[in-house]
């Protein structure tokens, strides 16, 4: 049974607010006190839990420095950052959608020229980024400032690494007279948010993975216009539907189209099998490579490849858009798992969780060829072993698990034998 203090304390605390306080501050504090007190009453917080919360907030502050903001990460993971973003950026369809700033933005990035390489000296898949900054009326915003940053190919930002020689994988550049910008960098990769602090423990207790889908950060500003903070996400990333900070919006998902370089083209061979698929047509058309140009087209950075197909069905017509997959490399008897099975730690090491005698067991693995949503496992996992494909980030090594078949018509998730290695 509640005592009088429980019911009247909230009003007593609010009454202590000065009548001279800033109106906005007063409104926020009144609401905060009421909701906080209601929360404590609802869950009937124990003294031990209260002190654990104090220690958690203290540890969160202790993790903050000029290179890392653990409180922003806390806000991100609890969905507060995206809620604030949604409330403050109610926009029409003519504007680019916004998303979270993230905990790794740093002021003072070097300004580069259009066309320069933001990732000079870093390993990764070369990527060309180009776009245009326009007003909502379609007017080019000449001189608009773009602040960009991203992780490296192993999922780490420069501020997480030692001895990077200053600010890396981040830059500023200005749009030209037509509002256009362009730069070179490396392909972003999905990565885990830091789990070595208080938020790592929270995610673990909640049974959630710490992964963010691959993305490139943008902060775009121009005099007289509202600054836009957003990302471009890589289409097809396995974590688009479960971003740990809830930052993905459909309009921000971009198809990072692969332009095969001359080096990549050298992996192809005349006579290699090719599969041509057309949207809306169930059965693909089979063909073979008949010609591979020896020279790179410097304008498009692509190599011309001819494929001869059997078009007796008449599916392919002049002007038809199609997707061509060419088998550049084939590995017989490869052990293959869904890409969502792969776990990556802060050091960039990869592992999977396998089921051994009814318990989850973590194994460090080496990956090989990626083939669509599947990836080859080169070491540590044998064909037929059961691999946990979802929810593995919330499991401790040795956790008891039960294998459940979601669809009777499908096999249980396990590492399997298949041919791997088609290149799109």
Report pLDDT for 317.
Answer: 84
In angstroms, rounded to a whole number, what is the distance separating the alpha carbons of residues 132 and 80? Answer: 30
More confident residue, 243 or 295: 243
Q: Which residues pair with 372 in a beta bridge?
A: none
What is the CATH T-level fold of the domain 329-423, as seen in this structure?
Answer: 2.40.420
Report pLDDT for 372.
Answer: 67
Examine domains 70-254 and 262-321 and report if their fold is the same: no
Give Cα 234 distance to the centre of its chain. 7
* Cβ-based burial of 211 (10 A; exposed 0-12, middle 13-18, buried ≥19): buried
Pairing of strands 253-254, 228-234: parallel
More confident residue, 301 or 19: 19
Domain range summary for the chain, segments of one domain joined by + = 4-62, 70-254, 262-321, 329-423
Flag whether pLDDT at 360 surpasses 50.
yes
Flag whether pLDDT at 417 surpasses 50.
no
Q: What is the pLDDT of residues 174-199, one digit of tens each?
A: 999 999 999 999 999 999 999 999 99
Q: Which of 9-23, 187-201, 264-278 has the lowest mean pLDDT?
A: 264-278
The CATH class, in words, for 70-254 is mainly beta
Report pLDDT for 320.
Answer: 79
Give Cα 46 distance to the centre of its chain. 38
Stretch (H or E) spanning 27: helix 23-43
Does this model's pTM top 0.85? My answer is no
Flag whether pLDDT at 412 surpasses 80.
no
Pairing of strands 350-356, 343-344: antiparallel
In angstroms, rounded to a whole number, what is the distance separating the alpha carbons of residues 369 and 358? Answer: 29
> Which token pair is 353?
């969780």
In angstroms, rounded to a whole number, what is the distance separating the alpha carbons of residues 231 and 248? Answer: 8
In angstroms, rounded to a whole number, what is the distance separating the alpha carbons of residues 148 and 143? Answer: 15
SS3 (DSSP) at 28? helix
The CATH class, in words, for 262-321 is mainly beta
Report pLDDT for 140.
Answer: 94
Report pLDDT for 423.
Answer: 39
What mean pLDDT do residues 387-406 have? 78
Burial 153-189 (b: 16+ CB within 10 A, else e): bbbbbbbbeeebeeebbbbbbbbbeebebbbbbbbbb
Tokens 């580069």 belong to 112
Q: Read off the pLDDT band of 11 (50, 70, 90).
A: very high
Report pLDDT for 161.
Answer: 85
Report pLDDT for 419.
Answer: 42
Q: Read off the pLDDT band of 322 (50, 70, 90).
A: confident
Report pLDDT for 400.
Answer: 87
Neighbours of 292 (CB within 10 A): 16
How long a stretch of residues is the chain? 424
Report pLDDT for 406.
Answer: 55
| Residue of 125, 197, 192 lying closest to 157 (CA atoms) | 192
State phi, psi for 172 to the nearest 5 degrees. Answer: -120, 145
Q: Read off the pLDDT band of 276 (50, 70, 90).
A: very high
Pairing of strands 145-149, 170-174: antiparallel
Q: Which of 81-95, 106-120, 253-267 has the lowest mean pLDDT?
A: 253-267
DSSP letter, residue 134: B
> Which token pair is 241?
């539907």
Tokens 């040795």 belong to 398
383 within 8 A of 374, measured Cβ to Cβ: no
In angstroms, rounded to a whole number, what is the distance separating the alpha carbons of residues 227 and 327? Answer: 45
More confident residue, 401 or 73: 73
Q: What is the pLDDT of residues 89-118, one digit of tens each?
A: 887 777 899 999 988 898 999 999 998 999
381 within 8 A of 198, measured Cβ to Cβ: no
* Cβ-based burial of 247 (10 A; exposed 0-12, middle 13-18, buried ≥19): buried
User: What is the full DSSP assignment across 155-205?
Assistant: S--GGGSS---SS-SEEEEE--TTSEEEEEEE----EEPP-SSHHHHHHHH
Report pLDDT for 421.
Answer: 40
State phi, psi for 117 to the nearest 5 degrees. Answer: -100, 115
């Amino acid at each position: 049974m509640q005592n009088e203090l429980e019911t009247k304390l909230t009003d007593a605390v609010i009454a202590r607010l000065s009548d001279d306080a800033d109106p906005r501050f007063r409104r926020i504090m009144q609401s905060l006190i009421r909701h906080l007190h209601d929360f404590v009453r609802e869950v009937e917080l124990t003294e031990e839990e209260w002190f654990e919360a104090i220690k958690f907030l203290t540890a969160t502050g202790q993790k903050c420095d000029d290179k890392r903001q653990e409180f922003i990460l806390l806000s991100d993971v609890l969905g507060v950052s995206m809620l604030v973003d949604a409330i403050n950026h109610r926009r029409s369809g003519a504007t680019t959608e916004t998303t979270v700033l993230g905990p790794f933005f740093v002021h003072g990035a070097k300004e580069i020229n259009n066309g320069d390489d933001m990732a000079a000296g870093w390993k990764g898949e070369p990527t060309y980024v180009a776009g245009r900054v326009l007003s909502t009326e379609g007017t080019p915003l000449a001189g608009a400032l773009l602040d960009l940053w991203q992780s490296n190919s192993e999922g780490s930002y420069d501020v997480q690494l030692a001895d990077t020689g200053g600010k890396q994988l981040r830059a500023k550049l200005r749009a030209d007279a037509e509002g256009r910008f362009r730069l070179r960098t490396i392909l972003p990769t999905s990565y885990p948010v830091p789990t070595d602090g208080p938020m790592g423990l929270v995610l673990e207790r909640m049974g959630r993975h710490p992964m963010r889908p691959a993305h490139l950060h943008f902060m775009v500003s121009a005099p007289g216009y509202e600054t836009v903070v957003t990302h471009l996400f890589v289409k097809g990333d396995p974590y688009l539907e479960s971003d740990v900070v809830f930052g993905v919006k459909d309009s921000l998902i971009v198809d990072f189209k692969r332009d095969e370089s001359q080096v990549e083209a050298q992996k192809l061979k005349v006579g290699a099998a090719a599969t041509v698929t057309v949207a809306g047509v169930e059965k693909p058309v089979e063909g073979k490579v008949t010609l591979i140009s020896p020279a790179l087209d410097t304008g498009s950075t692509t190599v011309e490849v001819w494929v001869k197909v059997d078009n007796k069905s008449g599916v392919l017509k002049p002007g038809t858009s199609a997707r061509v997959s060419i088998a550049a490399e084939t590995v017989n008897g490869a052990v293959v798992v869904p890409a969502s099975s792969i776990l990556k730690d802060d050091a960039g090491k990869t592992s999977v969780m396998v089921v051994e005698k009814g318990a989850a067991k973590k194994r460090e693995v080496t990956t090989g060829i990626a083939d669509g949503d599947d990836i080859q496992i080169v070491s540590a996992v044998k064909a037929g072993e059961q691999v946990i494909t979802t929810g593995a980030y919330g499991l401790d090594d040795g956790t008891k698990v039960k294998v459940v078949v979601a669809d009777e018509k499908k096999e249980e998730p396990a590492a399997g034998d298949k041919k791997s290695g088609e290149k799109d």
